[in-house]
Amino acid sequence: MERNMGQELEALKADYNALKAQMQQQEQLNERFFQAARRRPAQALSRGIRNRLMLDVLTLPTIWVICIATHWPPLFGVLVSLWTMIDFAATLWINRKLGMEHLLDGDTRTVTRTITSYRRFYRRALAISLLPCIAMITYIFIELLARVGESANRNLIIAIGIAYTLAAIIITWLQYRRHTKACDELLDEFEE
């Protein structure tokens, strides 16, 4: 009887150890799955930051080539370059301040605070950049219309300008929505 109990006890211990190993393996698998699920929106945020920085870097030489090729006033190039450098510096600063490269390395509270701070920065940066953007578009239209005078191309320039402005607004809005959706997905993952 005692021998049977000892064998049953050993069998139960073996079953318990096997179950414990399976549970640990399942926990590791779940953790990898959740990390992969969280990494996708985090990569979208990192890609958005990287794209914004690259666009700022490409804008500097492009605006000067345009100014030189079309004989635009250098003041326009200086102002657009200044705007671009400020955006570049602000994006780089917030990226480093919040540690976006290591976003998923922290605890839940740190990650959610970082995502919330970044979303707030993105919204504010977009709002702040509206004024220089409107001023730049207005200046471009005024300069183009002054250059063409009363020619037949005037209506074409106005139509193209309006179309490109609407396209830029739509693209910016879609990027903003995609960015906030990635932030919201990450926040949802960490709040569950």
Q: Is residue 46 part of a domain?
A: yes
Domain-embedded: residue 106: yes
Count of all residues that appear for the chain in the document: 192
Pull the structure tokens for residue 180.
Answer: 């906030």
Structural domain includes residue 17: no
- Average pLDDT of the segment spanning 14-19: 82
Give a yes or no: residue 22 inside a domain.
no
Residue 34's pLDDT band (cuts 50, 70, 90) = low
Contacts of 178 (CB under 8 A, 6+ apart): 44, 48
Task: Judge whether 129 lies within some domain.
Answer: yes
Residue 140 predicted with pLDDT over 70? yes
More confident residue, 27 or 30: 27
- Over residues 77-85, the mean pLDDT reads 87
Q: Distances from the Cα of 169 to the Cαs of 5, 61, 100, 125, 185, in angstroms?
A: 77, 23, 27, 15, 24
Residue 157 binned pLDDT confidence (cut-offs 50, 70, 90): confident
Residue 144 lies in a domain: yes
- Residue 42's pLDDT is what? 63
**How high is the mean pLDDT of the chain?**
78
pTM of full prediction above 0.85: no
Q: What's the pLDDT at 43?
A: 66
Give the pLDDT score at 100: 62
* Structural domain span for residue 158: 41-191
In the chain, which residue ranges form alpha helices assigned H by DSSP? Answer: 2-70, 74-98, 108-148, 153-191
Q: What is the DSSP letter of 57?
A: H
